[in-house]
Amino acid sequence: MALDIHTLRLDFPALAQSVNGHPLVYLDNAATTQKPQGVLDALNHYYQSQNANVHRAAHALSGQATHAFEAARSKVARFIHAPDAKHIIWTRGTTEAINLVAYSFGMHSLKAGDEILLSTLEHHANIVPWQQVAAATGAIIKVIPLTEHAELDLTAAAALFSTRTRLLAISQVSNALGVINPIKELIALAKQVGALTLVDGAQAVGHFPVDVQALDCDFYVFSGHKMFGPTGIGVLYGKRALLEQMPPWQTGGEMIRQVSFEHTSFGELPFKFEAGTPNIAGAIGLGAAIDYLSGLDRSILAEHEQSLLQQLLAGLTAMPDVHIIGRPAAGAVSFIIDDVHPQDLATLLDMQGIAVRTGHHCAMPLMQALGLSQGTIRASLAFYNTADDIAALLAGIDKAREFF
């Protein structure tokens, strides 16, 4: 089946605008993706026609909102192949989901001398919470180093696992370099020593299908806004037995069963982790994003993205003063240009309507390991990008190189 990308782009109103007198070329998808009209309509419909709080109310609007809210939870479960919706906890995003595991599992289960294994490629959101846990519990953080190609060193990783390893927290795809990590192999190594596994899937779920049962990870986290859904909504998947054992992280309304001044009992899964009024519209909007993605042939979308990636890599490689960082395989390409500050290049590209990102990409330890004190320029793709977008970026870089 041929992919009519120009028709698909009509589903995303934001792509039709001009910036600085040029058609928008949006290549900052690793930061956030644009939203299809169906997601915008779902948000609007909730606020116009279903606006009410969820659960327990007796009136019709609340019943409609509750049905849509919980239907979205079930859609997430099917989308990542979770056993059922009770494994799905709503959060504000990947960062909050990791913090939930860090504070509910980590603070209550780890002790002095236990080891947490991270990687050099991690986003700050998958580093800082574990530093806080380690400081409070006496646990030790160990870090998987990189190979010369800026990929995880599996041999070194295998040597880092020990009987003291309690948790492996690893990204599926690097947000900074577009590297796909060998998480199946790493999960298998973790299981050999009885360690739990958390996978940061923020940069994965929008690009290819994910099956948490096939991965056999213990926790999986991602954000809605990086997969064409709204901001402020995210997901924690956890194995049910673990979630049952973990205490609530935040407390208050919605997550309780019974409260007295002498004692409080908490609700069942998934509600015991969802204190307060949730982001109802966000969850419904994420459900609409899943509906949209599920209505497309994702294998064809992935092939299209790979074609764009190869076009971009070939074009950058042909420029002698441009250096690609690592070996990008999905979504994002980071590069630098000799004697050009990344922010200066990005500013000149923005003047041509081309949106990219610069800096450390919330991965300062990675940039330090690579000796990139100024960070990189990052162009990141989604399936609605076109060959013309890549050509415009390459032409914009050439124009900027002439300027410098």
Please give the Cα distance from 156 to 220 (Å, whole number): 24
CA distance readout (Å), 62 to 1, 49, 78, 85, 216: 42, 11, 24, 20, 36
CA-derived radius of gyration, the chain? 22
> Is-catalytic flag, 217?
no
Name residues whose C-beta falls within 8 Å of residue 205's C-beta, 6 or more positions apart in sequence. Answer: 79, 80, 222, 226, 227
Please give the Cα distance from 378 to 30 (Å, whole number): 9
Cβ atoms within 10 Å, residue 397: 25
CB 338 within 8 Å of CB 188: no
Tell me which residue has tokens 């009024």. Answer: 277
> Does the CA dihedral 254-223-298-285 come out positive or negative?
positive
Output the CA angle 93-95-96, nearest 5 degrees.
70
Strands (E), 307-375: 322-324, 332-337, 354-355, 357-359
Choosing from 107, 128, 193, 362, the catalytic residue is 362
Please give the Cα distance from 265 to 258 (Å, whole number): 5
CB 100 within 8 Å of CB 89: yes
Tell me which residue has tokens 């690893």. Answer: 170
Please give the Cα distance from 232 to 242 (Å, whole number): 25
Q: What is residue 393's DSSP assignment?
A: H
Name residues whose C-beta falls within 8 Å of residue 80's C-beta, 6 or more positions apart in sequence. Answer: 201, 205, 210, 211, 212, 220, 235, 237
- Look at strands 140-144 and 115-119 and give their pairing: parallel
Please give the Cα distance from 217 to 126 (Å, whole number): 16
Cβ atoms within 10 Å, residue 73: 21
DSSP code string of 89-145: EEESSHHHHHHHHIIIIIHHH--TT-EEEEETT--GGGTHHHHHHHHHH--EEEEE-
Catalytically annotated residues: 362
